[in-house]
Amino acid sequence: MMGEAKPLAGRHALVTGGGRGIGAAIARQLLSLGAAVTITGRDKGRLEGAAAAMGCHAVAMDVTDASAIQNGFALAAQAQGPITILVNNAGIAKAAPFAKTDLSLWDDILRTDLTGAFLSTQAALPQMLESGWGRVVNVASTAGLTGLAYCAAYCAAKHGLIGLTRALAVELASKPVTVNAVCPGYTETDIVEETISNIVAKTGRSREEALAGLVASNPQKRLIKPEEVAEAVAWLCLPGSSSITGQSIAVAGGELM
């Protein structure tokens, strides 16, 4: 990163789903830039272990529970000051043919990947406006920019998250708060490992063949690293990124151009 070594000093960042994968990489990057960081997640044991390893604050919280979000954000603010950076990273991904996508699966994905971001942003935004500065970064997906077979619910949620990003960015354009989305392609995370395992189990392909199928649409022919996503998120949080709002940035090796 260019500029001063700790450009986010004095800022409090909250990262949902921050106990592993992309969320943990984002938390580490924001810490390195001087922010005080709170990570949240449903698995209290994993969350507290990750927080201890990184040296940040942790609040166990389910983003599908509106009251839990209000309580969790209040605890985070009490411990580390007003939340002025919110990274809506918590999400789940489940694949199924459209005909086999039942209402329970649909609701589960939309509650976690879209409504969770809506509720979290509503909880943090008053603190940003009162502080006179804020950054909201939604971790969407290339599935929010294009269609993927067998992922109707996930695509719908991520497209909705990008719609929320754009609408709120316009609404807040006259305020010192920006709202953006980062859209990773297939990334080296537990979720992608589970996807590869499912492909192997259902098709009989080798792991290498399954992986090659996933990265076929990426001109670089590789998985994205969580740290690459974290760098993009952190850039959007910098003071110098104040003119960047309403954008959906693909971190995907050229998958979408």
Q: What amino acid positions are annotated as catalytic residues? A: 154
Report how far residue 137's alpha carbon sits from residue 45's, in angstroms, rounded to the nearest whole number: 26
For residue 38, give both structure tokens.
């709170």
Report how far residue 16's alpha carbon sits from residue 8's, in angstroms, rounded to the nearest whole number: 18
**Cα pseudo-dihedral 94, 20, 61, 233, rounded to 10:** -90
Sign of CA dihedral 62, 67, 70, 75: negative
For residue 100, give both structure tokens.
């086999």
Report how far residue 228's alpha carbon sits from residue 101's, in angstroms, rounded to the nearest whole number: 32
